[in-house]
Structure 1
């Protein structure tokens, strides 16, 4: 049920049904308008059909681009979907963005863009305060939409940029520990698909959407070379990393005519399919907090613990900005700094008395008490 809700939010109006052959298919239904979307949810053909269905509903049903008010939120969204910036995004990213933007458009599509003020944006975000991650996602999309409105000369400023992101208590996807990796291998030993997937992801740091595309064709002169799907359309940087001996030993036993993560028929698994498999595998290993994305973070953690710099780690993970890499490696860096601090503590003269002398280290040369300060 949860998965169905997520899908309906990503593509409002899209519902599934089973045809007379028992095959699941999708159709768009809204306001008396109906159109077939095909069987492959989220595929390029599905998105193309969904776009056409939206356009058909707008022009025939009187909503959105076909008969949208000039300068309205609905028209802005429609134009943004056809903009160079949006079309340059990968299909997976477009789906995520649509899931946020379509909900916003349904609620405020008729409102004039030029009248949106800071208080309006704050109210929109405050309505999602109970889910700060969702509020932050909406904030980012509003920034993009209103920036685009400025390029259309519909506005002169972007009030969304004046807001601050909500603090999110969670640190995101859990980073696998070495103990958890060992436990996973104990449950899924060498030779199983689960072991192969885990080994590939933890030794490449590849995201799930990239991992399912990797195959023998990506190894050139003993190195993994590929461009991330997320940045492929924008000619993202080439990732070129050495093949770790442990990974090379696993890959050497695989067929050379199919992706490393493939079905029994030899076709590449989908990113969503791999996610479902990983959930099953971690459940079997009693590792409910672990996920495929956590293996990507584990790769970054290992590199950080080995002393790699943030830039060096980014060259493996393919991140464009260093902020995310720093987030991935924060725990490892904190532990390393703590170890270094204690090494310095133990290296002080008269080591046995170091702890007893701690008050002297922090003694203030000014012995006069500060007025108005708590003691």
Structure 2
């Protein structure tokens, strides 16, 4: 009897052949643990184990049956959908962890019985990490929106639940000029560390894009790359100094920033490496803080919000304003006061001169 095997394996599943010639299937996300899946794709035992692996549940703890219309069931259905498959790996990973929390806490509770009050309580329990709580709400909203669209639930209980206000923080601290000087004094031109630093300052790229940027993205002195986070194309013109620095530094075939063996880095490995690089120079800041420094330089030089969006890959004006709020307000204030003085000279002074009174004339004389 011929067993039907689907042509395309489910997401994160690989097929292997043992030394005895037996075909087996494994589940693995990124560099996570390899999980052996029983049966063959399409079988009940395979589906059950696959769904458990997706939400991080140990296969031996999978319940014999999943109750239809339970939260566990809804999550399983959603994770088998085309909508789920269309999400980025990072989004699936984050939401999968949230759904695991939901399943562990609620399991076979009827998904139709979840209320707005339940969602509000879930956010309240996460109030110490408001950003994470808001992402949790976003994940739940996506799950129930899909459920509504596919007639599994009649309403989305997250509708009307307000997002938590973020804690009062500026996030990653921006670099200071003193720290910039300490770094460049420690890491000379030609080192991989200095190249990474210079590229981030010049481009303002996020870690996820800095590790991918390479000659394939260059046309003459212009780099164009679609950002990993927002899928927005950014355009950066490199100066002759940066182009010369690239040429005199060890790079890879497809990435400017590489590890010791000349291989590209992941954003995580780059983050760890760059943090150690900074510590070696006596600087306790991050690559993201350097990106904010780059944006601040642009803002202080007079770049508009839309110019900043074109370089830094932000999709809203609000994002540009958030990242540039550390701009030197004193410098901008002085520039504004000079504009006011210019207006006084051209518009106000003539009227003051023609007016009566020694005090007025003294003001014009001392300020003209």
What range describes the TM-score normalised by the shorter chain of this pair? 0.7 to 0.9
| 1:251 to 2:249 alignment | no
Q: 1:83 to 1:175 in 2, by over 3 A?
A: farther
| 1:294 to 2:289 alignment | yes
The structure having more radius of gyration, on CA atoms, is 2
Matches within 5 A, 1:223-302: 223-231=222-230, 236-254=231-249, 255=251, 257-288=253-284, 290-302=285-297
Matches within 5 A, 1:287-326: 287-288=283-284, 290-326=285-321
- Length, aligned pairs only: 311
Offset from partner CA, 1:184-203 (integer Å, 9 cap, x none): 21222222221111111121
Unpaired runs of at least 5, structure 1: 1-34, 358-375
Matches within 5 A, 1:164-243: 164-167=162-165, 168-231=167-230, 236-243=231-238
Contact kept in structure 2, 1:279 and 1:291, CA below 8 Å: yes
What is the CA-CA distance between 1:328 and the residue it aligns to?
Answer: 0.5
Q: CA RMSD in A?
A: 3.4
Q: 1:141 to 1:256 in 2, by over 3 A?
A: closer
For residue 94 of structure 1, what is the aligned residue in structure 2?
92
The DSSP-based 3-state class of the residue aligned with 1:162 is: coil
| Whole-angstrom CA distance in 1 between matches of 2:140 and 2:29 | 32
Q: 1:215 to 1:39 in 2, by over 3 A?
A: same
What is the CA-CA distance between 1:218 and the residue it aligns to?
Answer: 1.4
Offset from partner CA, 1:213-247 (integer Å, 9 cap, x none): 1212211132112222235xxxx343232113332
The DSSP-based 3-state class of the residue aligned with 1:239 is: strand
Matches within 5 A, 1:61-140: 61=60, 63=62, 67-140=65-138
Structure 1 window deviating more from structure 2 (71-80 vs 122-131): it is: 71-80
For residue 142 of structure 1, what is the aligned residue in structure 2?
140
Q: 1:46 to 1:335 in 2, by over 3 A?
A: farther
Contact kept in structure 1, 2:148 and 2:155, CA below 8 Å: yes
Structure 1 window deviating more from structure 2 (250-259 vs 320-329): it is: 250-259
TM-score (norm 2): 0.73
| Whole-angstrom CA distance in 2 between matches of 1:316 and 1:263 | 26
Contact kept in structure 1, 2:116 and 2:158, CA below 8 Å: yes
Contact kept in structure 2, 1:304 and 1:329, CA below 8 Å: yes
| Whole-angstrom CA distance in 2 between matches of 1:151 and 1:118 | 18
Q: 1:175 to 1:152 in 2, by over 3 A?
A: farther
Unpaired runs of at least 5, structure 2: 1-24, 38-45, 350-358, 364-368
TM-score (norm 1): 0.71
| Whole-angstrom CA distance in 1 between matches of 2:106 and 2:29 | 31
| 1:329 to 2:327 alignment | no
Q: 1:107 to 1:237 in 2, by over 3 A?
A: same
Q: 1:40 to 1:86 in 2, by over 3 A?
A: closer
